[in-house]
A and B are shown apart, each in its own frame.
Chain A
């Protein structure tokens, strides 16, 4: 529910309630004032009758007047003046009507008491309540209508800066070049929000840059000691008098250095892909590249006595050339690495905007959830950096492809779709 709808719900409810209460109060107040006025006019009537009685020593003649009735009945005693509201049948109006009535006693001839009643119709007040109800309903409808219009027109414009900021934030990607420019707003809340958002964005960007710089620097700083160790080993094996045991140790050192160096390079590569540093795309022939890669690996394919079953149709893809290279390299070398002697590799690029590379392997099914996470290793971890699949995944993300893994009866397959 939108903020304004929620606010409106309570606001309108309160407004309607207050209106109803105010109308009721208004009605009662007006009724009170009108009755008071009726009473005044009844009193004037009484005074007229009393002065007539005093002057002429007899009761006045009763003339029927609309909305007014005067009656005299004999009574035994004198009574106090009293007001009353009655409901009676009005012959003129042919309807039951409320009357305000004043009763008092007069003694015109000095011996008999007469009870005089003067009544006036209260039809005016009834009309009043009707008008008030109509006015109240009309006002409520008008308020609802006005708030609807305000919501549609004014609020949309008022909230415009908020939605603009929201859109900019949706499009915002940390590390993306070009500063985010938030709209300037005269509204204090929005301008405050924009300032805070702007600050947060700059801070995130700054932190990201620092982190990126740190990762790059750390990796680069590691290259120099690695280069020293490796060069010293290269010199060490030039010596003529190493024992076989020392030779073995040196070999182990070589392998450890190789692994460290590969790890370092993979991490740097991953960082670069994540940083979108491979952003120049071109139309490349995936089929040609695939043939070329398979050719590159031919000695290893032959060495492992692996059969390549390939169905390749000419396919082009819009992608960064280096990334396409790494993608195919990783896919093929994985399918070779985890294969067994005399196994097979199935390459399928038959033009459905997808490439599948499958291989035979004795390995168990890989965990689909964790497969593409960094440093995920299954089976023999010694030779793997655990980064190859993360690199694949990252390449797919920045190139707008998807990659999925399937496993059926000793066949592991990776499918890239774009």
Chain B
């Protein structure tokens, strides 16, 4: 699956590509409006990451062009303008999601996989990892077809982990994902620890492997244990 990153800032583009690139994704980049127009018309992408503020044109015009050409590429807008108007305008113009800078790469990863999932599985919304299954419609998880009793936050957390499989997610990214950025409680890392501990316990009790491990004390990683 190919992902196109339309972003004029070289370092952000590089980071995003490096993070997304794996056995599943091939990442392509465009740094200008014209370059993006060319690539969009030539190829099909599973997801397009679109910076609204390009130096030679607005990303919103690109969106309009995509619609005109009847392309079904998923679009995630990334913008330095964390303003509601931009968000509304972007989503109205046909974008699938919106992410404001500065974002965590893990958040971006989760959003991109969510968009691709929605586009490619057409309603059949289930993710499987070994015997663990996530039903995206009902927002529930089950192991060997038996429902695991997860709280809403634990489910969100599990989905976030699976969307960023094999990658380290920082505690800050988890906190922001679960509670949003207006949540600046002094000791929310403790809550993350508690949440993850509970999630692990529930998964193991349900008969899953112990997928989640702590990394350097600053984050967590979801991977198949050796």
Contacts and interface: CB of A to CB of B under 8 A. Distances in A.
Interface string B188-201: 10110011000000
B217 A272 contact: no
B184 interface: yes
Interface stretch (B75-83, B111-119, B202-210): B75-83
Contact of A223 (B11, B16, B80, B168): B80
A320 to B, nearest CB: 11
A238 B15 contact: no
Contact of A244 (B173, B194, B216, B219): B216
Contacts of B19: 231, 234-235, 238
B165 interface: no
Contacts of A227: 9, 12, 80, 101-103
A226 B216 contact: no
A226 B106 contact: no
Contacts of B188: 300
B167 interface: yes
Nearest to B84: A322
A248 B104 contact: no
A232 interface: yes
Given A262-B181, A299-B191, A237 B15 contact: no
B18 A235 contact: yes
Interface residues of B, number: 45
Contacts of B170: 233-234, 237, 254
A299 B102 contact: no
Contact of A238 (B9, B82, B168, B173): B168
A333 B184 contact: yes
A232 B15 contact: yes
B212 to A, nearest CB: 15
B215 interface: yes
Given A224-B9, A250-B218, A235 B172 contact: no
A224 B12 contact: yes
Interface string B156-184: 00000000000110111100100101111
A335 to B, nearest CB: 11
A265 interface: yes
A248 B15 contact: no
B102 A261 contact: yes
B168 to A, nearest CB: 5
Interface stretch (A33-41, A347-355, A377-385): A377-385
A303 interface: yes
A329 interface: yes
Contacts of A258: 172, 176
A237 B18 contact: no
A258 B103 CA distance: 10
A130 to B, nearest CB: 86
B186 interface: yes
Contacts of A221: 80
Interface string A233-275: 1110110001010111011001101100110010010001000
A234 B106 contact: yes
Interface string A281-317: 0000000000000001001100100000000000000
Interface of B: 9, 11-12, 15-16, 18-19, 80-84, 100-106, 151, 153, 167-168, 170-173, 176, 179, 181-186, 188, 190-191, 194-195, 215-219
Given A235-B15, A300-B179, 12 more contacts: A226-B101, A230-B104, A237-B216, A238-B168, A244-B216, A247-B218, A261-B102, A262-B181, A299-B195, A300-B183, A326-B182, A383-B184
Q: When A and B form their complex, which 7 residue pairs have the shortest distance between CB atoms, in order from nearest? A: A247-B216, A231-B15, A227-B102, A234-B105, A226-B102, A227-B101, A223-B80
